Structure 1
Amino acid sequence: MTVLISVWGASPGVGKSTLCGGLARRLADAGLRVDHFREEEVLTRPQFAAVAEAFRTTGTVGPGLLIAATAEFVDSVLASGVDVVIADALVPFVPTLLATGHDEETIDAFLTDLTEVLAPVSPVMVFLDGNAGSALSRAAGREGDQWLDRYVGKLARYEVSPPVTDVASAVTYLARERAVTLAAVAQNGWHVVVIERADELSPADVLSAAERSLRAWLAEPGEAARDE
């Protein structure tokens, strides 16, 4: 069975990329064939070339294009014979759709189609929850204050709802992004592992919590797992 582990979080800086790297190493060490899909690779993977071009030329992308690209990606994963895909902030594309003006009804319908496309790779989401303000501060401490200015400016340009003009309003918007993402995947039957207070945990503790819940899910796919 091929499994896609989609890693998302309440905010940039909450530890998604660090967790993805840790999971990829652990699973590879266990003898599994792992495809680590890094966040920036959506702009370079051939299956998403049309998506990247749409962003470059128009600054937006439609649900149909995302579905087509994902179907091509799933086909390539199955053909490659990998056991696990670790996807850093890829599917289910909810932030992308919110940023390009799509409402929740459209997103729900999109998730229904996306879930069907992803069925052959048995998607599970690991969601790193926590305080978005603290996570943004941590990201700014790592990347510099200019990163935070660019991030806020990007959200402001996309005219998301509620609108973003500063860090405080970005935190408010991220709360909506979190709520819509979790509701949409739950409604479509995705298994979701939520790591609470991830911004307060060490990377090793986050990795241990994710591994523990994922092992439980792989052993008993019908039962939910949640780490507090």
Structure 2
Amino acid sequence: MTVLISVWGAAPGVGKSTLCRGLARRLADAKLRVDHFREEEVLTRPQFAPVAEAFRTTGAVGPETLIAATGEFVASVLASGDDVVIADALVPFVPTLLAMGHDEETIDAFLTDLTEVLAPVSPVMVFLDGNAGAALSRAAGREGAEWLDQYVGKLARYGVSPPVTDAASAVRYLARERAVTLAAVARHGWHLVVIERADELSPDEVLHAVERGLRPWPADRGAAARKE
């Protein structure tokens, strides 16, 4: 059985990428075949070439394109024989759809289709919750002072709602993004693991909390399958 673990968070800087690296190492150490799908790879993996092309040519991407690309991705995962895919900020694409101006009714319909497409890889979402403002500050400290201005500018250009003009309004928008994402995933029956106050925990503490939430742990499933 292949499992897709999609990692999201309340804001950039909350620790998604660190968790993905830790999960990938932990599962690989358990002798599972792991594909670590990094956040930037959505624009480089061949299955998502139509998505990258849409962004390059129009600056936008439609739900149909995302569904088709995800279907290609699932087929490639199944063909690869990997046990686990760790995806950093990939599915369920809710932030992308919000940025493209889609309402919650459209997003809910999209999740119905997406959940069906992803069924063969048993999707799980891990959501790192926490203080979005603190997470943004941490990201800015790591990436440099210009990063936050660029991030705010990107959200402003998309015309998201509520509108973003500065860091404080970005935090307000991220609260909506969080709410819509969690509600949509919960309505469609995904296994959802929420790590509260993740920004206050060490990377090891976050990883251990995720391991507790992901029961049965994928490594245990893999061991059982190999015995059979």
Place the TM-score, normalised by the shorter chain, in its bin.
over 0.9
Q: Match for residue 94 of structure 2?
A: 94
Structure 2: stretches of 5+ with no match in the other structure: 222-228
What TM-score, normalized by structure 2, do the two folds share?
0.95
Q: Match for residue 191 of structure 1?
A: 191
Cα distance between partner residues in 2 of 1:102 and 1:83: 34
Q: Deviations over 1:164-216 (max 9, x none)?
A: 00000000000000000000010100010000000000111101111121134
- Asked if 1:201 corresponds to 2:204, the answer is no
Q: Secondary structure at the match of 2:140?
A: helix
Q: 1:62-101, aligned counterparts within 5 Å?
A: 62-101=62-101
Count of residues in Structure 1 that have an aligned counterpart in Structure 2: 221
Q: Match for residue 49 of structure 2?
A: 49
Q: 1:103-114, aligned counterparts within 5 Å?
A: 103-114=103-114
Q: Match for residue 128 of structure 1?
A: 128
> Which contiguous aligned blocks of 4+ residues in structure 1 show a shift greater than 2 angstroms?
215-219
The CA deviation at 1:145 is 1.2
Q: Secondary structure at the match of 1:35?
A: strand
Q: 1:146-225, aligned counterparts within 5 Å?
A: 146-216=146-216
Q: Secondary structure at the match of 1:163?
A: coil
What TM-score, normalized by structure 1, do the two folds share?
0.95
Q: Deviations over 1:48-81 (max 9, x none)?
A: 0010010011010000000000000000000000
Q: Which moved more, 1:126-135 or 1:203-212?
A: 203-212
Q: Partner amino acid for 1:10?
A: A
Identity fraction in percent: 87
Structure 1: stretches of 5+ with no match in the other structure: 222-228
Q: Partner amino acid for 2:203?
A: P
Q: Secondary structure at the match of 1:126?
A: strand
Asked if structure 1 preserves the Cα contact closer than 8 Å seen for 2:99 and 2:159, the reply is yes
The CA deviation at 1:89 is 0.1
Q: Secondary structure at the match of 1:162?
A: coil
Q: Partner amino acid for 1:207?
A: L
Q: Match for residue 27 of structure 2?
A: 27
Q: Deviations over 1:120-173 (max 9, x none)?
A: 000000000000000000000100110000000000000000000000000000
